[in-house]
């Protein structure tokens, strides 16, 4: 091998620690971006492709019962290509011998094999679905603790139990995709309905439009016309829902989240590049003498440049060798995890060319850009400077003024310690030396602090964002304060239900609620959207709304309502006191908006009006289908226990109860999906923290290396190993702690930024930011541990050097 | 083809300095280390340069090797039959020219620690491209043999003694077969026996036709130069030829 390439090779292998540091700095950035870019492409492609492949309904209508003739009429409706009817209702299910009931959406279909809309994906051996058999969503298996082949128990409204054989599992890529709160589904055929005491009628329409399947305006027009027709024929429509064929309903959300992750990935690349710049400029600095020698014997700038370019490219190549395969695997794993969570299937493992290109580009360009200035400076160094000049001082970043300012800093330190001395406070000598050393190389210190601070700030912010999101979900819980919810098949008088409920120990209060469905109309009479109106008693204790404007309900409000802030999407100029035109039961009426509140969830457009008025309007005065119970305690197990008790009690007393369910259960799914997001963010935070601590480790070992001679002299004048180690570790800790303070400060704007971006992506509304000490404390502990670790190794190496080695060092 | 002209005094000198001035400017003020030195060196000379510490010896050599730049004056070196104005070359041309024309040796040995001795000797050949890789290894081994270090060829510099390292530095200086060797106190940090060895080596090189400029503190060596100069305070004080 030619001597100069031999030298490059030695530079690569002789200082393994440095090579590992640089290679892993590059690799971390490449990996982070590779994983996210790959996952982004796979997910955004397969998610919508998988969705489209299941032939998703463009229009879903929830309405009252209808039969095949009516379905025929819908199929023949203008603009509809295909329509299917299903019956969907809630029911409680458990495995035989189980004690826990699980609420499921039971979906009855005409012919399981012939489903053409919202097609299901069978998992494993899923055979034909016959009478009195059931196939469940795969999430159900865990929830009810059952396996294919088991028998499931279904609780009927009269309290009796019906058993059905579980014959398979499926995944539903299309239905209820954007509803965090929807319970998982179980599928039966229409012929099983009588066994469950259900009429053999449909109550849902799933329809595909015959053109413009990705044109929301067109779909909306068809949906509105269809709904009109249904209502004209005397049926009641509860709600309608639309979706494009080739766009997964959550695509925008998922893409926004991946976008946030990508931004963090880019930040990691950025941080790691400062790390690379740091290491390379230290390396070139150490090599000034070598460069001088080579120039003395004939090397030109270009040759020196070429050698260090080769060194950098070798670092890149090694990093790519590690990070590219890992990135590909990681991307697929991330995509698979997401696909699994969101019930769509991937089109198989593959290498994403664009992600590959991005990784290679980053792996090559970032080190080149980061190393360019150090290499250029290094290769331009003159022989004279290299062999005679004071090498340690002779770097580009130590500008003319640097020396002066540094000495001022040192004077300041001196004066400070003298002052402390006068007050009887002795700073231990090693610590003093550490202090001075820390500030000696300010360029390097700044870069190290920068990476570590950014890592810490993101780390802390993620914890704050987590708490913020949870707090928000809990705030949504303010609209679901009941401990037990009762739904009856027929209306019961308030007093009657209250009397009975009072007999169940643990029940504190009961409220009866009414519900109505409304269409919001534009001034020209066309439908803007559908809206549910919840009608709790005006004095209800079970809703604590987050009002944005106006007031909450009064008992004597007539045709007045409080509406969720999603209304502003439709009517941006709406103010409290304005009127909305609502179509309720086919009658158009003006309702006054008295308040606007914040709400989020599957149905963001929601309104509250007092029970007192709505029940009258519905001829249901003093009666209700739905009741909300407050119990003595509000924890989850207690709520579940009470739901069981209340359920049994009402059934025993002959009430036609549909279900009694514990209050907070609806929120579990939402919390779960947010936790996935937080987990991703935390992984990114850990990666940034890793880059930060690698930076610290690199800086510490560079500092120690450059001070090898000084350490030798210290040892020659009697410093023992422990003192040398303590000195180095103190320096590392000092940097760590400074970065913690800076990171803690920086985490405040970061938290606001991250929380706003995430909440806009997930909830389409900015939310109130909450801070938690957790992140600050964990990062404090982590940064101390990391800095001790990052400096202990170089410190040990330094302490181990013999005086002879040190003095021979050059 | 015309025959090479015989060496004679009418030929231009191999190295010529005209009114060379070097002034160092630093924060402490300016200091003139060379005060208009004029000097010629003929091919085949073994020139000793003597003087007190701080007299300007190293500065003078640095002007000839182009390691440092003149403040005013000229340095002209005959290279392959052409007169090269060293003070007018830029850094890169200078490096290549120096690599091919001069062998430079310092007091401290300036070997690259990560390369074996043979690779250290090969380095100038690699960088200047005068020899093909295979040739250069062969040549490096021959040079190491000449300095009696062939047995250590594959060791790293740290594993041999100071005198041995200096011999490697000499072998490296000869790598591109330059006509001129410039040595700044090459024996300064060696014991007298080892120093004597090195000097013997230089004498043999002169016999093979090399021109050598050597700075030394050792007055005992004076008679062994073909000529010597004395420098004091940046000026040539005496210039004497030995017989
Ligand atoms: N970079 C510089 N800046 C300022 N003055 C310098 C510089 N280099 C050398 N000098 C001064 O120039 C004078 C000549 O220095 P030089 O190194 O040539 O001396 P020398 O004869 O080689 O001495 P020694 O025998 O100690 O090596 C000295 O007084 C020295 O202080
Ligand atoms: Mg000198």
Mean pLDDT of A700-725: 73
Strands B211-215 and B46-51: parallel
Instruction: Report d(CA A518, CA A105) in Å as an integer.
Output: 24
Q: Torsions phi, psi of B75, nearest 5?
A: -125, 120
Q: What does residue A63 show for φ and ψ, rounded to 5 degrees?
A: -150, -175
Looking at the DSSP bridge assignments, the partners of residue A595 are A550, A562
What DSSP line would sit under chain B, residue for residue? Answer: -PPPPPP-TTSPPSEEEEEEEEEEEETTEEEEEEEEEEEEE-TT-EEEEEE-TTSSHHHHHHHHHTSS--SEEEEEEEETTEEEEGGG--HHHHHHHHHHHEEEE-SS----TTS-HHHHHHHHHHHH-SS-HHHHHHHHHHHHHHTT-GGGTTS-GGGS-HHHHHHHHHHHHTTT--SEEEEESTTTTS-HHHHHHHHHHHHHHHHTT-EEEEE-S-GGGGGGSSEEEEEETTEEEEEEE--
Q: What are phi and psi of A622, to 5 degrees?
A: 60, 15
Q: Does the structure show a pLDDT above 70 at B111?
A: yes
pLDDT at position B2 is 39
> pLDDT at position A71, please?
93
Phi/psi region, residue B201 (left: phi>0; alpha: psi -120 to 50; beta: rest), is alpha
Worst-scoring range by mean pLDDT, A123-132, A145-154, B58-67? Answer: A123-132
The token pair that represents B40 in the structure block: 């010629």
Contacts of A562 (CB under 8 A, 6+ apart): A545, A547, A550, A551, A552, A553, A593, A594, A595, A596, A597, A607, A608, A609
What pLDDT shows up at residue A808?
A: 53
Nearest to A668 by CA among A118, A289, A139, A25: A139
pLDDT of residue A410: 63
Question: What is the structure's pLDDT at A429?
Answer: 64
Of A64-68, A721-725, A744-748, A773-777, where does mean pLDDT reach its minimum? A721-725
Average pLDDT over residues A774-796: 86
Report the pLDDT value the prediction gives residue B4, as an integer from 0 to 100: 41
Q: Quote the DSSP letter at residue A122.
A: E
Q: How confident is the model at residue A191 (pLDDT cuts 50, 70, 90)?
A: very high
Per-residue pLDDT tens for A542-586? 887 888 889 988 888 888 999 988 888 888 888 899 998 888 877
Q: Who contacts B63 (Cβ-Cβ below 8 Å, separation ≥6)?
A: B17, B20, B22, B34, B69, B70, B75, B86, B87
* Closest C-alpha among A321, A401, A386, A385 to residue A359: A321
CA distance A332 to A312: 29
pLDDT band at A277 (very low <50, low <70, confident <90, very high): confident
- Whether the pLDDT of residue A180 is over 60: the answer is no
pLDDT score at A174: 79
A303/B62 CB distance under 8 A: no
Give the pLDDT score at A145: 85
Ligand 2 center from residue A388 Cα (angstroms): 11
Residues of B in contact with A3 (CB under 8 A): 115, 119-120, 122-123, 126
Q: From CA A108, how far away is CA A90, in angstroms rounded?
A: 11
B118 pLDDT above the threshold of 90? yes
Angle, helices B133-146 vs B117-128, to 10°: value is 130
Task: Using DSSP bridges, classify how beta strands A161-171 and A151-155 pair: parallel, antiparallel or unpaired.
Answer: antiparallel
Q: Over the stretch A233-245, which tens digit does the pLDDT of each residue have?
A: 888 777 778 888 9
Do B113 and A293 make contact, defined as CB atoms within 8 angstroms? Answer: no
Using the predicted structure, report yes or no on whether residue A603 has a pLDDT greater than 60. Answer: no
Q: pLDDT digit string (tens) for A27-53?
A: 988 998 899 899 989 988 888 888 888
Instruction: Choose the most confident range, by mean pLDDT, from A247-251, A396-400, B121-125.
Output: B121-125
Lowest mean pLDDT among A4-18, A401-415, B21-35, B78-92: A401-415
Mutation test of ligand 1: which of B33, B63, B187, B232 has the most ligand atoms closer than 8 Å to its C-beta? B33
Burial B191-230 (b: 16+ CB within 10 A, else e): eeebbebbbebbeebbeeebbbbbbbebeebeebbbebbb
Whether residue A246 has pLDDT greater than 50: yes
Q: Is A770 on the interface with B (CB under 8 A)?
A: no
- DSSP secondary structure string for all residues of A649-685: HHHHTT--EEEEEETTHHHHHHHHHHHHHHHHHHHHH
Determine which residue's CA is closest to atom 26 belonging to ligand 1.
Answer: B53
Q: How far is A396 from chain B (nearest CA, A)?
A: 18
Rg of chain A over Cα atoms, rounded to whole angstroms, equals 34
Question: Given this model, what pLDDT does residue A740 score?
Answer: 94
Residue matched to tokens 């987990």: A679
Domain B44-68+100-241 coded CATH 3.40.50.300: yes
Lowest mean pLDDT among A99-113, A203-217, A381-395, A563-577: A381-395
> Which residues contact ligand 1 via a Cβ below 6 A?
B 24, 26, 31, 33, 51, 53-59
At B5, the pLDDT band (50, 70, 90 cuts) reads very low
What does each C-alpha distance from B189 to A47, A292, A654, B4, B172 come to in angstroms? 75, 21, 111, 41, 19
Interatomic CA distance for residues A703 and A711, integer angstroms: 11
Portion of chain A with pLDDT greater than 70, in percent: 88
Question: Residue A480 has what pLDDT?
Answer: 67
Task: Specify the pLDDT at position A557.
Answer: 87
Please, are residues A382 and B91 in contact by the beta-carbon 8 Å criterion?
Answer: yes
- Compute φ and ψ for A580, nearest 5 degrees: -115, 140
Three-state DSSP state, B83: strand
Q: Where are the alpha helices (DSSP H) in A564-604?
A: 567-570
pLDDT value at residue A806: 55
Cα A646–Cα A650–Cα A652 angle in degrees, nearest 5? 115
Other CB atoms within a 10 A radius of the CB of residue B25 amount to 10
Instruction: Give the pLDDT score at A600.
Output: 63
Q: Record the tokens describing residue A727, joined without a space.
A: 């000195």
Q: With bands split at pLDDT 50, 70 and 90, how would you rate the model's confidence at A148?
A: confident
User: If DSSP codes are grouped into helix, strand and coil, which group holds residue A214?
Assistant: coil
- Burial code of A650-670, b = ≥16 C-beta within 10 A, e = fewer? bbeeebebbbbbbbbbbbebb
Q: How many residues does chain B have?
A: 243
| A38, A330 Cβ separation under 8 angstroms | yes
Tens digits of residue pLDDT in A662-688: 776 556 656 666 777 777 788 878 888
| Other Cβ atoms closer than 10 A to A720 | 11
The whole-angstrom separation of Cα A607 and Cα B97 is: 88
In this predicted structure, what is the pLDDT of residue B155?
92
Q: Which helix (H) or strand (E) holds A317?
A: helix A301-341
Distance CA B212, CA B43 (A): 9
Contact A479, A513 (CB under 8 A): no
* Selected residue with higher pLDDT from A320 and A15: A320
- Say if residues A410 and A437 touch (Cβ distance below 8 Å): no
What mean pLDDT is reported for chain B?
86
For residue A532, pLDDT over 90 is answered with no
Residue with tokens 């590219």: A324
Evaluate whether B228 touches B50 at the Cβ level (below 8 Å).
Answer: yes
The whole-number pLDDT of residue A134 equals 92
CA distance between the termini of chain B: 36
By DSSP bridging, strand B46-51 and strand B227-232 are parallel
CA A250 – CA A763 distance, rounded (Å): 11
Residue of B nearest to A301 (CA): B92
Quick check: A595 and A554 in contact, CB under 8 A?
no
- CB atoms inside a 10 Å sphere around CB A412: 11
Residue A181 predicted with pLDDT over 70:
no
pLDDT for res A545: 81
Question: pLDDT for B85-110, tens place per residue?
Answer: 888 888 888 888 998 899 999 877 68
At residue A675, φ and ψ (nearest 5 deg) are -65, -30
pLDDT band at residue A182 using 50, 70 and 90 as cut-offs: low
* Mean confidence (pLDDT) of chain A: 82
- Calculate how far, in angstroms, residue A586's C-alpha sits from the geometric centre of ligand 1: 104
Determine the Cα–Cα distance for residues B163 and B149; give it in Å rounded to an integer: 11
User: Between B180 and A478, where is the model more confident?
Assistant: B180
Task: Convert the pLDDT of each residue in B212-225 to its tens digit.
Answer: 999 988 888 888 89
Q: Say if the Cβ atoms of A3 and B115 lie within 8 Å.
A: yes
A·B CB contacts under 8 A:
78
Exposed/middle/buried for A748, CB within 10 Å: 0-12, 13-18, 19+? middle
| Residue of chain A minimizing CA distance to B171 | A297
> Hey, where are the domains in chain B?
44-68+100-241
Residue A93 near residue A82 (C-beta atoms within 8 A): no
H or E segment at A607? strand A606-608
Q: By the 8 A CB rule, do A83 and A71 touch?
A: yes
User: Rounded to whole angstroms, how far apart are CA atoms A291 and A375?
Assistant: 11
- φ, ψ at A549 (rounded to 5°): -155, 155
Higher pLDDT, A640 or A665: A640
pLDDT in tens, A509-528: 899 988 888 888 888 877 77
Contact A650, A660 (CB under 8 A): yes
Lookup: tokens for B44: 């085949």
Distance from residue B58's CA to the centre of ligand 2 (Å): 4
- Chain B residues with CB under 8 Å of a chain A CB are 62, 65, 67-68, 91-92, 95-96, 98-100, 104, 106, 110-115, 119-120, 122-124, 126-128, 133, 158, 172, 175-176
pLDDT category of residue A534 using cuts at 50, 70 and 90:
confident
pLDDT at A435: 64
Q: Annotate A166-194 with DSSP letters as a single string.
A: EEEEEE-SSTTTT-TTPPPEEEEEGGGGG
pLDDT average, residue stretch A635-663:
82
The predicted structure's pLDDT at residue A744: 94
CA distance A454 to A747: 8
Taking the C-alpha atoms of residue B203 and residue B212, their distance in angstroms, rounded to an integer, is: 9
Chain B hits for A296, Cβ within 8 Å: 65, 67, 98, 104, 110
pLDDT value at position A604?
66
Q: Can you give the pLDDT at residue A807?
A: 53
B242 vs A507, higher pLDDT: A507
């Amino acid at each position: 091998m030619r001597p100069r390439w031999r030298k490059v090779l030695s530079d690569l292998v002789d200082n393994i620690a440095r090579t590992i540091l640089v290679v892993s700095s590059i690799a971390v950035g490449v990996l982070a971006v590779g994983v996210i870019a790959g996952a982004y492409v796979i997910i955004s492609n397969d998610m919508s492709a998988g969705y489209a492949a299941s032939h998703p309904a463009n229009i879903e209508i929830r309405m009252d019962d209808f039969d095949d003739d009516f379905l025929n009429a819908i199929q023949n409706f203008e603009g509809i290509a295909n329509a299917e009817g299903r019956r969907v209702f809630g029911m409680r299910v458990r495995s035989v011998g189980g004690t826990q009931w699980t609420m499921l959406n039971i979906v009855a279909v005409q012919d399981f094999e012939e489903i053409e809309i919202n097609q299901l994906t069978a998992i494993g051996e899923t055979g034909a679905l016959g009478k009195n058999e059931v196939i469940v969503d795969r999430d159900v298996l865990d929830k009810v603790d059952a396996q294919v082949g088991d028998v499931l128990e279904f609780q009927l409204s009269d309290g009796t139990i019906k058993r059905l054989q579980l014959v398979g599992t499926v995944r539903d890529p299309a239905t209820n995709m954007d509803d965090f709160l929807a319970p998982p589904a179980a599928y039966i055929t229409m012929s099983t309905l009588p066994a469950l005491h259900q009429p053999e009628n449909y109550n849902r329409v799933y329809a595909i439009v015959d053109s413009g399947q990705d044109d929301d305006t067109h779909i909306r027009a068809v949906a509105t016309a269809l709904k009109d027709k249904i209502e004209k024929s005397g049926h009641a429509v509860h709600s309608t829902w639309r979706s494009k064929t080739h766009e997964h309903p959550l695509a925008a959300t998922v893409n926004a989240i991946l976008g946030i992750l990508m931004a963090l990935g880019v930040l990691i690349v950025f941080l790691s590049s400062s790390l690379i710049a740091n290491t390379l400029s230290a390396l070139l600095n150490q090599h000034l003498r070598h460069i001088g020698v080579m120039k003395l014997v004939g090397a030109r700038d270009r040759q020196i440049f070429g050698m260090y370019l080769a060194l950098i490219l070798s670092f890149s190549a090694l990093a790519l060798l590690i990070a590219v395969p890992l990135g590909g695997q990681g991307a697929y794993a991330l995509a698979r995890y997401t696909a699994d969570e969101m019930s769509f299937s991937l089109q198989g493992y593959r290498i994403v060319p664009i992600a590959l290109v991005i990784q290679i580009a980053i792996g090559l360009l970032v080190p080149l850009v980061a190393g360019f200035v150090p290499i250029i400076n290094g290769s331009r160094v003159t022989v004279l400077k290299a062999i005679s000049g004071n090498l340690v001082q002779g770097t580009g970043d130590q500008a003319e003024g640097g020396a002066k300012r540094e000495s001022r800093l040192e004077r300041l330190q001196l004066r400070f310690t003298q002052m402390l001395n006068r007050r009887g406070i002795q700073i231990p000598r090693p610590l003093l030396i550490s202090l001075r050393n820390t500030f000696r190389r300010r360029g390097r210190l700044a870069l190290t602090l920068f990476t570590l601070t950014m890592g810490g700030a993101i780390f802390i912010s993620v914890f704050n964002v987590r708490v913020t999101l949870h707090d928000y979900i809990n705030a949504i819980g303010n609209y679901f304060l009941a401990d037990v919810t009762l739904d009856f098949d027929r209306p019961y008088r308030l007093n009657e239900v209250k009397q009975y409920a009072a007999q169940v120990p643990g029940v504190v209060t009961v409220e009866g609620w009414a519900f109505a469905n409304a269409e919001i109309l534009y001034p020209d009479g066309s439908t803007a959207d559908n809206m549910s109106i919840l009608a709790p008693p005006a004095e209800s204790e079970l809703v604590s709304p987050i009002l944005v404007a106006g007031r909450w309900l009064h008992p004597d409000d007539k045709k007045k309502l409080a509406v969720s802030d999603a209304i502003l999407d439709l009517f941006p100029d709406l103010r409290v006191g304005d009127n909305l035109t609502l179509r309720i039961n086919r009658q158009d009426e003006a309702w006054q908006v008295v308040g606007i509140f914040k709400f989020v969830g599957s149905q963001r457009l929601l309104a509250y009006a007092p029970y007192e008025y709505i029940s009258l309007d519905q001829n249901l005065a003093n009666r209700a289908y739905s009741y909300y119970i407050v119990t003595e305690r509000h924890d989850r197990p207690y709520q579940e226990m009470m739901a069981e008790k209340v359920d049994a009690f009402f059934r025993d007393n002959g009430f036609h109860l549909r279900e009694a369910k514990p209050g907070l259960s609806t929120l579990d799914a939402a919390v779960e999906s947010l936790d996935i997001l937080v987990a991703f963010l935390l992984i990114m935070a850990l990666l940034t923290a890793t880059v930060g601590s690698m930076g610290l480790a690199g800086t510490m070992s560079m500092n120690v290396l450059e001070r090898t001679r000084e350490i030798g002299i210290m040892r020659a004048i009697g410093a023992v190993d422990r003192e040398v180690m303590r000195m180095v570790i103190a320096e590392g800790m000092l940097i760590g702690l400074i970065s913690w303070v800076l990171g803690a400060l920086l985490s405040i704007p970061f938290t606001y930024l991250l929380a706003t971006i995430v909440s806009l992506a997930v909830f389409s509304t900015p939310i109130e930011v909450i801070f938690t000490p957790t992140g600050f404390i964990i990062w404090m502990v982590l940064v101390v541990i990391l800095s001790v670790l990052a400096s202990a190794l170089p410190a040990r190496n330094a302490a181990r050097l013999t005086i002879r080695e040190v003095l021979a060092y050059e | 083809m015309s025959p090479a002209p015989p060496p004679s005094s009418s030929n231009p000198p191999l190295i010529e300095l005209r009114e060379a001035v070097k002034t160092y400017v630093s924060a402490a003020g300016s200091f003139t280390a060379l005060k208009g030195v004029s000097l010629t060196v003929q091919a085949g000379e073994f020139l000793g340069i003597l003087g007190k510490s701080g007299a300007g010896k190293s500065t003078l050599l640095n002007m000839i090797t182009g390691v440092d730049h003149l403040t005013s004056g000229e340095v002209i070196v005959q290279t392959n039959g052409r007169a090269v104005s060293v003070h007018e070359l830029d850094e890169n041309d200078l490096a290549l020219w120096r690599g091919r024309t001069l062998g430079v040796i310092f007091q401290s040995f300036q070997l690259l620690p990560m390369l074996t001795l043979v690779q250290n000797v090969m380095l100038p050949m690699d960088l200047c491209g005068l020899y093909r890789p295979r040739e250069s290894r062969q040549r490096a081994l021959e040079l190491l043999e000449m300095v009696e270090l062939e047995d250590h060829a594959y060791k790293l510099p740290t594993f041999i003694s100071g005198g041995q390292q200096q011999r490697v530095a000499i072998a490296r200086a000869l790598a591109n077969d330059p006509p001129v060797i410039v040595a700044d106190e090459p024996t300064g940090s060696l014991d007298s026996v080892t120093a004597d060895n090195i000097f013997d080596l230089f004498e043999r090189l002169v016999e093979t036709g090399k021109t050598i400029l050597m700075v030394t503190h050792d007055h005992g060596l004076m008679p062994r130069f073909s000529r010597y100069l004395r420098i004091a305070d940046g000026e040539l004080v005496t210039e004497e030829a030995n017989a």
